[in-house]
Chains A and B, each alone.
Chain A
């Protein structure tokens, strides 16, 4: 899923300060699963904002609404009335959702309440880890299902570097060396020969480096 972290409350407070009527718009998909912006988080944030403003003797009306996803018009439509009756929207969706809301409701300031971080997995309860950066040209088959582009701090295709120590990356002892993981996995699979072959430079054109991307499915368009 897409993993994000709710912005610090102090930052949100100063972002929404100019508005008298605020809609906190939660999202029921990715940000719900990483506890950043689902219905529960929207409720807690609403309560926190009301308390924070009231304590300073300021007025703010906070409405909370959560829709299934903020990246599809089918669900976004459901929030139209709520958006219309508020001065601004604090979206707790990922960056894509914030932008889609802003696109559909250009007349309202749409502010982000979450710092979108990465595409990742829930490795175990309470631990989300980054796994994919969307390079557009997946080579996981070569690397035994461990991505060196995302999980090696230096994106090495012919790794490891000289900084790998006890299975950890030189950047942090909390970070696994992806190349240690690759080697261990390929050993288990009996595919260590994959690493004897020289891997040429990556073609970055299919990635965001080639420009913002589009996916068009002609077969879905009539």
Chain B
């Protein structure tokens, strides 16, 4: 990993710290205040905040602009970038613009298919895939060249992230794919949220065996569930999600008023277990539309940031 980034997230990880990141979904509209309010809730709780890019293919304020709003509030954004909506010209252009605006971290993703979103009639792009995007950012950063080989007047020195899903199929290929992403240039990985601990442990074991935990920082994803209905919805409808039946049963087993508390409890138990797994270098808390819980979770988990 090239150490020339002024990414705070990179600094925490390279010094051996356990990183804590959260997520901020931009609004479906042009109101900057929505972003600022979420930022207020997360400020001081986490090392960095992911800003999603038209997540689930629903049109939202762009991740680059919401990332800048976070910067203005003194937070450290991780700008997510999907390859579904933009071709290589636009992607490279936005990477340079993001860096120029002060963004230092980005996460390279494929993106959910547009048939799920608010504009299923749209043409998708997928000019390059997420692996190509990782490779592109790395080349821009380390060689100072864009995809056409042109020498950039200033390389964007991004801390490069990629997503990994230990719960998607085919299982045996997932670690090979992780290795490929690291070779392409991924510095850190954020995984899909963990409920199936056995499967996650197995994936980590294979990753360690391949020597991958020495080459990349893995942050395990967690999501606190608000209700049994949410648990069932996620299990059925969200692509790549693995929620074992006992977990859903647990959520359903408490009175509705207590469900949210139970969800947070499960989340804290998960975080405690994750901290014990060799190779897990941090946790990525995706409290969707529940940002106010992040601070509480971080504190209860004993992960309060040293300032």
Contact = CB atoms under 8 A, between A and B. Distances in A.
Q: Do A and B have CB atoms closer than 8 angstroms in the complex? A: yes
Interface of A: 153-167, 170-171, 177, 180, 183, 195-196, 198-202, 204
Contacts of B176: 195-196
Given A196-B180, A198-B184, A163 B132 contact: no
B135 interface: yes
B117 to A, nearest CB: 12
Given A201-B132, A201-B147, A156 B168 contact: no
Given A156-B126, A198-B131, A201-B88, A164 B180 contact: no
Main secondary structure of the interface of A (DSSP, over half): loop
A98 B97 CA distance: 46
Given A162-B165, A162-B240, A171-B115, A155 B173 contact: no
A177 B168 CA distance: 12
A164 B135 contact: no
Interface in B125-144: 126-132, 135-136
Contacts of A201: 88, 127-129, 132, 136, 147
B65 interface: no
B131 A154 contact: no
20 contacts: A153-B113, A154-B83, A154-B129, A155-B129, A156-B129, A160-B170, A161-B110, A162-B164, A162-B239, A165-B168, A166-B169, A177-B169, A183-B170, A183-B173, A196-B179, A198-B135, A199-B131, A200-B132, A201-B136, A202-B127
Contact of B110 (A154, A177, A195, A204): A154
Given A154-B84, A198-B184, A160 B129 contact: no
Interface of B: 83-84, 88, 110-113, 115-116, 124, 126-132, 135-136, 147, 163-165, 168-170, 173, 176-177, 179-180, 183-184, 192, 239-240
Contact of A163 (B127, B135, B177, B239): B239
